Amino acid sequence: MHRVHRAATSLVLIVLVALGVRLAFAWSQIQKTPVELQGTVPFQTETGHIAYSLATGKGYASPFQRDTGPTAWLTPVYPLLVAGIFKLFGVYSRASFFAAILLNILFSAAVCIPIFHAGKRIVGLGVASVGAWFWALFVNAVMIPYEWIWDTSLAALLAATILWTTLKLPASQRWRDWCVYGLLWGVTLMTNPALASVLPFLLLWVVLHARHEGHLQLARPALAGALVLLCCLPWTVRNYVAFHRFIPLRSNLSFELYIGNNENYDERRRGLPAIITQDREILRYLRMGEMAFMDEEKRKALQFIAAHPRVELWLVGNRIVDFWMGTAAPVKIFRETDSVLIRGILLGNFLSTLGAFLGIVVLFWRRNPYAIPLAAFPLLFPVLYYLTHTSLRYRHPIDPVVLLLAAIATAQLGRRLLQLMQTETF
């Protein structure tokens, strides 16, 4: 029994299992993909196109492959990583595809480490192990590193690491730790700017908790905040030089807003063929240029939202379900699909979501001091997607926190069941 417990709580074993499961899934999918497509199709995204532009000496530009000049469509960290892979293994090559997938898998498997250590700090070794095992075997976490050559897996690792360091930081009086925290946030914002939604709340919690611990010196959090801004400054300056306007992170929010809020959703057009698609909007982008296109998208989206408040409420409701379940019609799809994988994704999304919100209740009910930073991720991060549009991968950066919360709820449920069993025995 002792050996079983040691194995179940072994971080090394959990990471190895996570790595093995992801490699096995990727290998099985590679066997189903024609060899001639492996070096090209996976890179036909904004990330792949910008990386191509970088690797061929054309600069940070052209998110849709045609030469359209400088872009701020994506923040630079992940496209630069892919460009580096292209330089080492060849542009749009099969070797680059394998390297990019392997890098994503390593990012994803490494998430087990901050989940485990954050869980130990919050509740203890048992919950830490359960949370890490949940991540190691979570269907989305196994699938996404292969399916998306995007910043998704790296963002999940950064978000989990931020949670871990946030929980540790109030007790630290070392300047180095506060500097690392600021730099970590800077890299995160340059990877996935959507995580900025939780930054002010986590930093405020760190300051207040440090004050409670008696370790507060405002110079330390001020330094961390300054380092966050310093990390973003070169990119912001570059954007101002390229576009002559203030773009601190990404330029494409207006596009995302319009894709989720446009005339297709007008109740008077229900049932009619869609007139607005991403492909059509991208053609407009190629014709107009990035800034003029974004200005027009913003104008049209805000105009639609103001003119259709009832439809907007319906859309937000659908997007809330879509964000957490991966589809706006989970019951219908679960019943109609013949795919075991799709059913596994839907079931995993439902159970993890239910567990996460029960975990938040448990933490606040038990007055756990770490309740606020954990709750910030599932409560604040999705708001941007409730307003724009969503897909299965958009919640993935916060999935490590979601699964840790689910582990906390599972542990509480297990304790309750054990208490009931002991009561009935006596």
Alpha-carbon gap, residue 389 to 305, rounded angstroms? 13
**pLDDT reading at 267 higher than 70:** no
Quote the pLDDT of residue 65: 82
Domain count, the chain: 1
The two three-digit tokens of residue 344, written as one number: 């596994």
The two three-digit tokens of residue 157, written as one number: 């690792």
**Mean pLDDT, residues 338-355 taken together:** 94
Name the more confident of 11 and 36: 11
Quote the pLDDT of residue 215: 63
Q: What whole-number percentage of the chain has pLDDT above 90?
A: 77
Q: Which of 250, 249, 257 is nearest to 390 (CA)?
A: 257
**Mean pLDDT, residues 48-55 taken together:** 96
Alpha-carbon gap, residue 180 to 227, rounded angstroms? 9
Quote the pLDDT of residue 136: 97
Q: Is 423 exposed, middle or buried (0-12, 13-18, 19+ CB in 10 A)?
A: exposed
Name the more confident of 417 and 151: 151
Among 261-265, 366-370, 382-386, the minimum mean pLDDT is found in 261-265
Average pLDDT, the chain: 91
Residue 139's pLDDT band, with cuts at 50, 70 and 90, is: very high
Quote the pLDDT of residue 292: 93
DSSP string, 144-167: HHHH--SSHHHHHHHHHHHHHHHH
Name the more confident of 1 and 308: 308
Quote the pLDDT of residue 414: 83
Cα separations (Å) of 344 from 82, 138, 235, 328, 331? 30, 9, 40, 16, 13
Q: Which of 297, 413, 352 is nearest to 135 (CA)?
A: 352
Question: What pLDDT digit, counting tens, does each position of 190-237 carry?
Answer: 999 999 999 999 999 998 887 776 666 788 889 999 999 999 999 999
Look at residue 46 and give its three-state secondary structure: helix
Tell me, what DSSP letter sits at residue 70? B
**Mean pLDDT, residues 135-140 taken together:** 96
Quote the pLDDT of residue 224: 92
Quote the pLDDT of residue 283: 85
User: Is the CB of residue 275 less than 8 Å from the CB of residue 264?
Assistant: yes
Question: What pLDDT digit, counting tens, does each position of 357-377 carry?
Answer: 999 999 999 999 999 999 999
Q: Which of 9, 15, 12 is nearest to 125 (CA)?
A: 9
Residue 350's pLDDT band, with cuts at 50, 70 and 90, is: very high
Phi and psi at 61, nearest 5°, equal -160, 170
**pLDDT reading at 275 higher than 80:** no
Look at residue 30 and give its three-state secondary structure: helix
Quote the pLDDT of residue 265: 79
Quote the pLDDT of residue 35: 84
Q: Which of 60, 50, 255, 278 is nearest to 151 (CA)?
A: 50
Quote the pLDDT of residue 173: 82
Domain that holds residue 264: 2-425
Among 1-5, 121-125, 139-143, 408-412, the minimum mean pLDDT is found in 1-5
Q: Which residues pair with 61 in a beta bridge?
A: 70
Half-sphere exposure of residue 350, counting CA atoms within 13 Å on the CB side?
Answer: 12
Question: What pLDDT digit, counting tens, does each position of 94-113 carry?
Answer: 999 999 999 999 999 999 99
Q: Residue written as tokens 């009832």?
A: 310
Look at residue 92 and give its three-state secondary structure: coil
User: Is the CB of residue 46 less than 8 Å from the CB of residue 73?
Assistant: yes
